[in-house]
Amino acid sequence: MSRRLVVAGNWKMNKTAAEGKALVEELKTRVAAVAPEVEIVVCPPFTTLGAVVEAAAGSRIRVGAQNVHWAPNGAFTGEISAEMLKTSGVEYVIIGHSERRQYFGETNATVNQRLKAALAAGLKPIVCIGESLEEREGGRTEAVLAAQLEGGLADLTPEMMQQVVLAYEPVWAIGTGRTATPEMAEATHAFIRGTLERLFGAAVAAGVVVQYGGSMKPGNARELVAQADIDGGLIGGAALKADSFAELIEQAALGHCGK
């Protein structure tokens, strides 16, 4: 079965509006020749979204946000609703990134609330899951991922699940230069797909895009994406320059088309 390839750049707290616009202008030209089945997403900070939506208009680059609140509006200082994102031209939204879980107290329950709000507004969520180094070394990777999937995806129907992209990001590989080997990543992705099958049935599980994230670079993207259950990447550091992001996308496309 062939799933689409989705490569998304998470800019985190980087890039002013002018810097984001310049990056997208350069990226547009660089990726024009990449196979059309590759979906390319950039996720700037909230204040840069408007400029990037404008710069990406009419191109193949889609725009995502890095978080969303679950309430439609109200007294939630500093938060942004799903409708605010949708009406700003945003298509994707990252939910439950490990940095949000680690530094801002997000839990599987709040991931689930945000996810439902994003789906209700017609946004495409990228839901992040992943184990810490301590959890991996303690042999708890599968239990942690199963709990993140069961809690984060609670109450979703199979139809809703078809709109969701998952990103498996081992926390010990994010921003550390330490990548999971392709074999190790594939084994974990296969476990995730097996869990999706248990929760939503075989047909839905076979169709869900599951990205890998954690120090993915132009040099390792092809081999990672060539794995049977890896359908793209969520990229931090390597997405901050048009050259490295475009090269990574080209390599991922090569890995994907060999499957």
User: Mind telling me the catalytic residues?
Assistant: 97, 169
Supply 76's token pair. Answer: 């939630």
Does residue 3 contact residue 205 with C-beta atoms inside 8 Å?
no
Using CB under 6 A, pick the residue from 5, 31, 52, 174 that binds ligand PEP: 174
Using CB under 6 A, pick the residue from 40, 153, 235, 242 that binds ligand PEP: 235
* Count of residues in contact with ligand PEP, rule CB under 6 A: 13
Alpha helices in the chain, H assignment, sequence order: 17-30, 46-56, 82-86, 98-103, 108-120, 133-137, 141-152, 158-161, 182-200, 202-207, 218-225, 242-257
3-state SS of the chain: helix, strand, coil percent to 5? Answer: 50, 15, 35
Using CB under 6 A, pick the residue from 5, 7, 10, 164 that binds ligand PEP: 10
Give me the 112-151 binding string for ligand PEP, x by CB under 6 A, dash otherwise. ----------------------------------------
Considering only CA atoms, which of 126, 97, 112, 157 is closest in space to residue 39?
Answer: 126
Considering only CA atoms, which of 181, 167, 103 is closest in space to residue 136?
Answer: 181
Per CB under 6 A, 237 contacts ligand PEP: yes
Least separation in angstroms between CB 110 and ligand PEP: 18
Give the nearer residue to ligand PEP in terms of CB position, either 192 or 204.
Answer: 192
Using CB under 6 A, pick the residue from 44, 125, 236, 255 that binds ligand PEP: 236
Listed ranges 84-92, 158-166, 167-175, 199-207: which one lies at the site for ligand PEP (CB under 6 A): 167-175
Rg (CA), the chain: 17
Listed ranges 52-60, 78-86, 235-243, 248-256: which one lies at the site for ligand PEP (CB under 6 A): 235-243
Per CB under 6 A, 44 contacts ligand PEP: no
Least separation in angstroms between CB 98 and ligand PEP: 7
- In the range 199-218, which residues lie near ligand PEP by CB under 6 A? 213-216
Listed ranges 25-33, 145-153, 187-195, 229-237: which one lies at the site for ligand PEP (CB under 6 A): 229-237
Give the nearer residue to ligand PEP in terms of CB position, either 149 or 204.
Answer: 149
Query: What count of residues does the chain have?
Result: 259
Supply 186's token pair. Answer: 């594939």
Spatial neighbors of 14 by CB under 8 A, at least 6 apart, are: 45, 240
Give the nearer residue to ligand PEP in terms of CB position, either 66 or 113.
Answer: 66
Q: Within a 10 A sphere around the Cβ of 103, how many other Cβ atoms?
A: 9
Strands 38-43 and 165-168 come out as: unpaired
- In the range 175-194, which residues lie near ligand PEP by CB under 6 A? 175
Spatial neighbors of 64 by CB under 8 A, at least 6 apart, are: 8, 41, 42, 43, 90, 91, 92, 93, 94, 124, 126
Per CB under 6 A, 234 contacts ligand PEP: yes
